[in-house]
Amino acid sequence: MTELTVVTTCKGRLHHLTESLPTLLGQTFRTDLRYRVVVVDYGCPQGAFDWCVSKFADERLTVVRVRDDVDRFNFSRARNIGAAFGSGLLAFLDADVLLPDGALQRAVSEMERLGLERLNHSRGVDAQGRPHIGGQFLIRSESFHALRGFCEGFREYGGEDIDLYRRSLAAGQSHGLIDLELRRIPHDDEERLRFVSSETKAESILRNREWLGQRGPVVNPDGYGLTEDFETSPNGLQPALVRPAPAACECKEPGWCERHRCAKTPHWHVLCRTRADYFALWEEGRGPGQKRIQQSTEPGLLRKAANFGKAVARHVADGGRKVSHQVLLARLEACKACPSCDTTRMVCRERSCGCFVTTKAAWRSERCPLGKWPKTAHTDES
Ligand code: SF4
């Protein structure tokens, strides 16, 4: 049986939750899926906990009221606490997200079909053809905990979702894209910044970036999703507290390391256990074995430049035409599941390619060197 837990949080967003929670509880699923919704009331001044408990007698709903350290809104911590109640697949959705019926079933089916660890909601691409990734996504709980959750060092608005996304890519987790066809309830920056200390969004983002520059290699070294003062709704689950944050090598023997996604020789295993600098390299995805895999087949710079030059010529000859957004997403999905793709940089390591697939996949004139892109992709254009 597949399990899915949606995690959403609330601090001063009850007017959003009153609209979004019914769309979460109204989702329909196939019968063999076990579904739960966890709402984390993070010291919500509007009493989100009481509203949820009085309004819904739904066994699938667990409401958690956190009382400690809630003067400011630590969004990462709130989501991590919600995740501690979840199992199977975790879906992170903001309180202002309105989902159409069937959106989550579609996402679960897609993850199962492609064997993905993470599925990102994405509705568009930027000027370079890279998909927009935000804070709405599904992830397997073991993959989420392998990353030690959202970084709780982010205490301002924004950045924690992209940080987790990048760490997930760096760890080699398999990703996919989906348009959940969700709607956002419009609101302004004043609401976004109400429970952080910065007065502008730019200042808030800058502070979080400063924090990122100071962070060490281990995320949440003292643990994550921890709370000592909380209550749950009467029908609530108990959290799977507390997951310690591994700060050092935990492998008992050499061989395949799931955490660092590489095979460690006996010598590397000793280094990982005894040298903090080597351990940090593996944590950052730059350790021995990780790099070697990435470099094994990728063409050199000259060949890459020549390959890219030919691709540009084909693109120009094709009138600079691009494929539709759906085709682009389908192509990128194929790349992300492909062993030839360096998913950290989204570079195809095939000798006849070496291109950034986010650029190449957007061009109608391009083909996958291994023929892995969906066949319909060649005729569909924007
Ligand atoms: S272009 Fe083809 S071979 Fe290259 S990464 Fe994408 S799917 Fe794999």
Grade residue 169 by pLDDT with cuts at 50, 70 and 90: confident
Name the CATH superfamily for 2-232. Answer: Spore Coat Polysaccharide Biosynthesis Protein SpsA; Chain A (3.90.550.10)
pLDDT recorded at residue 297: 60
Q: What percent of the chain has pLDDT over 70?
A: 91
Half-sphere exposure of 168 (CA within 13 A, CB side): 29
Q: Give the Cα separation of 352 and 354 in Å (integer).
A: 7
**Residues paired with 6 in a beta bridge:** 37, 91
Q: Whose CA is nearest to atom 3 of ligand 1?
A: 370
Query: Of residues 150 and 310, which shows the higher confidence score?
Result: 150
Q: Give the Cα separation of 94 and 92 in Å (integer).
A: 7
pLDDT recorded at residue 240: 53
Q: Give the Cα separation of 123 and 111 in Å (integer).
A: 17
DSSP assignment of 204-251: HHHHHHHHHHH--SSSSTT-SS--SSEEE-TT------------S---
Residue 242, pLDDT above cutoff 50 = no
Q: Whose CA is nearest to atom 7 of ligand 1?
A: 335
pLDDT digits (tens, 9 = 90+) for 75-117: 999 999 999 988 899 999 999 999 999 999 999 999 998 889 9
pLDDT recorded at residue 312: 84
272: nearest Cα among 292, 293, 256: 256
Q: What angle do CA 345, 351, 352 make, to 5 degrees?
A: 100
Residue 11, pLDDT above cutoff 90 = yes
120 CA to centre of ligand 1 in angstroms: 19
Query: What value does the mean pLDDT of the chain take?
Result: 85
| Structural contact between residues 232 and 240, judged by C-beta atoms closer than 8 angstroms | no
Grade residue 236 by pLDDT with cuts at 50, 70 and 90: low
Residue owning tokens 């691009």:
322
349 CA to centre of ligand 1 in angstroms: 8
341 CA to centre of ligand 1 in angstroms: 6
Distance of CA 152 to the CA centre of its chain: 15
pLDDT recorded at residue 336: 84
pLDDT recorded at residue 291: 56
Q: Give the Cα separation of 61 and 172 in Å (integer).
A: 33
Grade residue 239 by pLDDT with cuts at 50, 70 and 90: low
For the ranges 136-150, 166-180, 191-205, 230-244, the lowest mean pLDDT is seen at 230-244
Which of 357, 358, 360, 366 has most ligand 1 atoms within 8 Å of its beta carbon, as the pocket-test mutant?
357
Q: Give the Cα separation of 218 and 247 in Å (integer).
A: 6
| Structural contact between residues 28 and 108, judged by C-beta atoms closer than 8 angstroms | no
Count CB neighbours of 250 within 10 A.
Answer: 10
Mean pLDDT of 287-294: 64
pLDDT digits (tens, 9 = 90+) for 254-281: 888 877 778 888 888 888 887 877 887 7
Q: Which amino acid makes up residue 303? A: R
Q: Give the Cα separation of 318 and 314 in Å (integer).
A: 6
Q: So where are the chain's domains? A: 2-232, 255-295, 301-378
Residue 147, pLDDT above cutoff 60 = yes
358 CA to centre of ligand 1 in angstroms: 11
Q: List the end-to-end C-alpha distance of the chain, in Å, as a whole number.
A: 39
Diameter of the chain measured on Cα atoms: 66
Q: Give the Cα separation of 366 and 361 in Å (integer).
A: 7
Q: Whose CA is nearest to atom 4 of ligand 1?
A: 348
